[in-house]
Amino acid sequence: MRCRSKNKINIAHDSFIALKKQIVLMKKIFTIAMISVLISAGSCKKDSDFLNVPPKSVVTTDVVFSDPALVLSVLGDLYNRVLDFSSLDNGWTTFADFGESFPSDNGQYGFVQNRSWDYGTWGTWDYGYVRDLNLFIDNVTASTKLLAADKSRFLAEGRFLRASYYFEMVKRMGGVPLITQTLTYDNSGNVIGLQFPRSKESDIYDFVISEAEAIKGLLPSDPTEKSRATKAAALAMEARAALYAGSIAKYGATTPQVSLSGGEVGIPSSMASGYYTKALAAAKEIISGSAGSYKLYQVLPNLSDNFAAIFLDKSSVNQESIWVEDFKALAGKVHSFTTNDQPYSVSDEASDAGRLDPSLNLVQSFEKLDNTFAPIATKDGAGNPIYYADQQDPFAGRDARLAGTVMLPHFFWKTAYIDIWGGYLLSNGNIISSDDATHYASLPGSSAQVQVVGKDGPTPTGEPLRTQTGFYVRKYLDPATGSGRRGRQSDVNFIRYRYAEVLLNAAEAAFELGQTSDAALYMNQVRARAGLTHPLTAGDITFDRIVHERRAELSFEGHVLFDMKRWRIATKVWDGNPESLNDLTSNISSATKRNTQPWGLYPYKYYSPGSPNDGKWVFREVLPSPVTGVLNFRLGNYYSQINDGIISANPKIKRQPNQ
Amino acid sequence: MKIKFHHIIIFILLLSAAGCKLDNVKPPSVKLSGQLMYKGSPIGVEYNQVPFQLYQTGYKGNTPIGGTFDQDGTYSVLTFNGNYKFTIPGGQGPFQWKELPSGGRDTLNIALNGDQTVNIEVTPYYMIRNAQIAAASGKITANFSIEKVITDASAKNIQTVSLFVNKTQFVSPGDHAAEADLDGGAITDPANVSLNVTIPTFPVTQNYVYARVGIRIAGVEDMIFSPVVKVSY
């Protein structure tokens, strides 16, 4: 068209100017006409179609729930939102507190300085997540295009995650409203139909247990499937939940104040044995191998290294872990646990290290190889200091899990030995030290400037980011190259359920049901793996033993708070009284031993030229100077506060007791 | 433009002038205060450990004003005129608080119209009477008698009696420099109990300490205390 009109113009150019003008005018008219035709043709759609353009960035529900890959991505989001008490990607502080460790970070001294926990601490009330889980279950159920096998597995996973979250809620809040379908608001201004009262605490536990029973057959029995729900994961959840419910029923009798008349908090003691029976049955189902071949991790010859490797080995060799939160380095799913807690002297980052320091309270609780308990010896019977030739000597002959959980002084990490010592101890009792290993000082009788404190501390001034207890954490710390860098971080996975805990759950349930020889059998398997080769007899199994074994095996895995709560001994262990040195070193085997302040154990190098003890190590128990508070667990802490906003919005919700 | 001193002055004047609007909400100005009492004797508790709640009736929502009692059992709240209900949450305090037959906690009606003092009358399980705390020959010695107030079916035993000594006025189980305990079962004559503890040494020498005695009641979270006394030596 345009070509032809150009020709016309050319002709016009050759002809008269008047004609040219006319043609130019015609061309204008022609162009305008063409544009208007185009525009009107362009608008020749129906009005409704014009506005009804399918968006390309949103996938509709029926499309998603027709393709297993898309359903899996929705499910992936729901898996990512699983709530853990201790969680590698929620910061190292979720592993701190409770007297088991000292927080060596200027911003986190509150853990050891606050007098008590707020009533709201540890609470959760995420009904948005519950709704999303219910929606997922509804949508999978309604889907017609999924294969039956896919559908039943997705459905079971949705129900597993929902039961898992209700378990997490009931542990923290007691009975909560049990919502198992999606609720719809009808815009009427009336919300009474959406307000549900709290269920009984036992009802929520019953729900978790019955859901696990219902879905276990629909989930795969595959020990290599770690990050998605399996039959073993459902059974492990059931065993733990039933055990918790059983102990709340049994030991709740010792704290009658911690209950509500409607059963929203507290479980009648008559229900205890029923729950213990269910816990034992579920645990036995895993132990018998009917959910896949799970077993204790026994690969490395060094038992401490072997214990540490449970948490590092992500290969199929690891048949101990049952359900994990998985991570992947250089792919966006990483955590900074190693960055935050790596030894200061071997740190990949100049100012990121050493935050989580296990306390002497925990270290000394690991028993000796003859099954007896003793503090770490620092003085002989006459009260004189003991001189050790090697820094690791005082810890020798103990449960291998000690060195697997905690980095002891002079531990080899990645590329070097860590350097933990508090200074030189002179024969007159004075200590020569400094606030940093690079700040030298001279020793008596010499003018030479020498290093007078370990590169990893502990310093007399309490320098943060290096140890202030004399120990670093080892569990979950990643030895891979670069794992401590902020740029790469670590991809060690977090184990939510593992076989050793299943064995301990079985042991506890069997013990509470009077089957002490079975309890000994289960417990001895876990202990033998840790090098405790003298088996316990049925008569040795006591409540104190059960409590101790869980602490030795499961510390820094998010269990301590819930264990202390369900046994109702939290108010005794964290009783609000300062912990003296005598408190610390006595009654180590007692379950109700005070644990209100984290102590440290500082090694000092003895300096006395000519003496046979010169250059040997002397250890001293030290309460780190920032520890000014005392842990005080109040009766109102047994169940976290339901905040006033929730109660105002739903008057049917009852307040927690003792708050 | 060069910033000169008068520019800064003008800027500050402008800024302060901009803040010279009237606030449209009055600050709370009515003071409600009082003390925990049992028949005219104050009840001492641990600082910041025994909470109370104040609900305003006719006010939307169900959110109480919260607070805690001081060491000597006093409390104070700055609020507005109105009708309030005062209560102490369940399981708190070394005393009994009336429970309603319906299962809730009893409330105390307070019609606030100007500053007001309302003492909270409660029934403690025990009272510490005639506490005499004195220093002699390097020790702090406390002599006192224990009166069992609640003797019916809800009575509770004494777990321990303790003497706490501290360098500051805050004297409590969680904050003390020296402590002497006596088991409840070891008390032979409740009318005449004696505890003593060596005077602790402080980094900065002082010739006085603060002390008080407390009773821990079995199954009750909070201790009941005698008044804090300053003991010079």
What band does A1 get if pLDDT is binned at 50, 70 and 90? very low
Q: What was the pLDDT predicted at A145?
A: 92
**A442: helix, coil or strand?**
strand
Is A648 in contact with B61 (Cβ distance < 8 A)?
A: yes
- Answering whether pTM is above 0.90, one says no
Is B62 in contact with A651 (Cβ distance < 8 A)?
A: yes
Residue A630 contacts B where some CB pair is shorter than 8 Å: yes
Which has the higher per-residue pLDDT, A453 or B16? A453
What band does B204 get if pLDDT is binned at 50, 70 and 90? confident
Q: What was the pLDDT predicted at A566?
A: 96
Residue A21 contacts B where some CB pair is shorter than 8 Å: no
pLDDT at A378 over 50: yes
Q: pLDDT of A546-563, one tens digit each?
A: 999 999 999 999 999 999
What is the mean pLDDT of the segment spanning A353-358? Answer: 94
What is the mean pLDDT of the segment spanning B99-126? Answer: 88
What is the mean pLDDT of the segment spanning A612-617? Answer: 94
Chain B positions in Cβ-Cβ contact with residue A636 (cut-off 8 Å): 89, 91-92
Q: What was the pLDDT predicted at A236?
A: 97
Chain A positions in Cβ-Cβ contact with residue B174 (cut-off 8 Å): 115, 576-578, 629-630, 632
What is the mean pLDDT of the segment spanning A493-518? Answer: 96
pLDDT at A98 over 90: yes
What band does A29 get if pLDDT is binned at 50, 70 and 90? confident
Q: What was the pLDDT predicted at A379?
A: 94
Q: pLDDT of A32-41, one tens digit each?
A: 877 776 676 6
Which has the higher per-residue pLDDT, A323 or B107? A323
Is B219 in contact with A257 (Cβ distance < 8 A)?
A: yes
Is A576 in contact with B92 (Cβ distance < 8 A)?
A: no
Minimum CA–CA partner of A114 in chain B: B174
What band does A306 get if pLDDT is binned at 50, 70 and 90? very high
Is A659 in contact with B219 (Cβ distance < 8 A)?
A: no
Return the residue in B62, B92, B125 with the most chain A beta carbons within 10 A, the one to mutate for interface testing: B62
Is A658 in contact with B103 (Cβ distance < 8 A)?
A: no
What distance in Å separates residue A475's CA from the closest CA in chain B? Answer: 32
Chain A positions in Cβ-Cβ contact with residue B173 (cut-off 8 Å): 576-577
Residue A647 contacts B where some CB pair is shorter than 8 Å: yes
Is B219 in contact with A647 (Cβ distance < 8 A)?
A: no
Which has the higher per-residue pLDDT, A46 or B40? B40
C-alpha to C-alpha distances, A202 to A139, A206, A245, nearest whole angstrom: 29, 6, 7
Is A647 in contact with B92 (Cβ distance < 8 A)?
A: no
Minimum CA–CA partner of A255 in chain B: B219
Distance separating alpha carbons of residues A648 and B179, to the nearest angstrom: 44
pLDDT over 90 percentage in chain B? 57
What distance in Å separates residue A179's CA from the closest CA in chain B? Answer: 24
Out of A116, A576, A635, the one facing B91 most closely (by C-beta) is: A635
Contacts of A277 (CB under 8 A, 6+ apart): A509, A513
Q: What was the pLDDT predicted at A114?
A: 86
Strand B116-117 and strand B30-38: pairing?
parallel
Which chain B residues touch A if contact means CB-CB below 8 Å? Answer: 48-49, 61-64, 89-92, 103, 173-176, 219, 221
Contacts of A157 (CB under 8 A, 6+ apart): A75, A219, A228, A229
Out of A116, A257, A644, the one facing B63 most closely (by C-beta) is: A644
What band does A335 get if pLDDT is binned at 50, 70 and 90? very high
Q: pLDDT of A255-283, one tens digit each?
A: 888 999 899 999 999 999 999 999 999 99
Minimum CA–CA partner of A659 in chain B: B89
Structure tokens at A332: 């966006």
Which of A360-364, B55-59, B213-217 bottoms out in mean pLDDT, i.e. has the lowest?
B55-59
Nearest Cα neighbor of A542 from A595, A594, A589 is: A589
Q: What was the pLDDT predicted at B20?
A: 62
**Enclosing H/E stretch for A234:** helix A231-251
Out of B49, B64, B173, the one facing A577 most closely (by C-beta) is: B173
What distance in Å separates residue B220's CA from the closest CA in chain A? Answer: 9
Is A577 in contact with B62 (Cβ distance < 8 A)?
A: no
pLDDT over 70 percentage in chain B? 95
Which has the higher per-residue pLDDT, A26 or A86? A86
Return the residue in A260, A265, A575, A577 with the most chain B beta carbons within 10 A, the one to mutate for interface testing: A577
What distance in Å separates residue B91's CA from the closest CA in chain A? Answer: 5
Q: pLDDT of A201-237, one tens digit each?
A: 999 999 999 999 999 999 999 999 999 999 999 999 9
Is B221 in contact with A635 (Cβ distance < 8 A)?
A: yes
Nearest Cα neighbor of A91 from A356, A343, A330 is: A356
Residue A648 contacts B where some CB pair is shorter than 8 Å: yes
B132-166 b/e (C-beta count within 10 Å ≥ 16 → b) = ebebeeeebbbebebeebeeeeeebebbbbbbbbb
Instruction: Work out the mean pLDDT of chain A and round it to a whole number.
Output: 91
Is A577 in contact with B90 (Cβ distance < 8 A)?
A: no
Contacts of A493 (CB under 8 A, 6+ apart): A88, A226, A227, A314, A321, A324, A325, A326, A327
Is A115 in contact with B174 (Cβ distance < 8 A)?
A: yes
Structure tokens at B169: 């006025």
Q: What was the pLDDT predicted at A10?
A: 53
What band does A134 get if pLDDT is binned at 50, 70 and 90? very high
Count other Cβ atoms within 10 Å, centred on residue A131: 14
Return the residue in B88, B107, B175, B222 with the most chain A beta carbons within 10 A, the one to mutate for interface testing: B175
Chain B positions in Cβ-Cβ contact with residue A257 (cut-off 8 Å): 90-91, 219
Q: pLDDT of A419-449, one tens digit each?
A: 999 999 999 999 999 999 999 999 998 899 9
**A131: helix, coil or strand?**
helix
pLDDT at A15 over 70: no
What band does A17 get if pLDDT is binned at 50, 70 and 90? low
What is the mean pLDDT of the segment spanning A153-178? Answer: 96
The answer to whether B69 and B45 have CB atoms below 8 angstroms apart is yes
- Quote the distance between the C-alpha of residue B151 and its chain's center: 25
pLDDT at A536 over 80: yes
Three-class secondary structure assignment of A305-329: HHHHHHCCCCCCCCCCEEEEECCEC
Out of B89, B103, B174, the one facing A630 most closely (by C-beta) is: B174
ipTM: 0.81
Q: pLDDT of A385-409, one tens digit each?
A: 999 999 999 999 999 999 999 999 9
Is A659 in contact with B90 (Cβ distance < 8 A)?
A: yes
Minimum CA–CA partner of A118 in chain B: B49
pLDDT at A323 over 90: yes
| Neighbouring-strand partners of residue A602 | A620
Chain A positions in Cβ-Cβ contact with residue B175 (cut-off 8 Å): 115
What band does A44 get if pLDDT is binned at 50, 70 and 90? low
In degrees and rounded to multiples of 5, residue A560 shows phi and psi of -60, -45
Is A659 in contact with B89 (Cβ distance < 8 A)?
A: yes
What is the mean pLDDT of the segment spanning A572-584? Answer: 91
Chain A positions in Cβ-Cβ contact with residue B90 (cut-off 8 Å): 257, 657-659
Residue A115 contacts B where some CB pair is shorter than 8 Å: yes
Chain A positions in Cβ-Cβ contact with residue B48 (cut-off 8 Å): 115
Q: Which residue has the tokens 């529900």?
A: A61
Chain B positions in Cβ-Cβ contact with residue A645 (cut-off 8 Å): 63
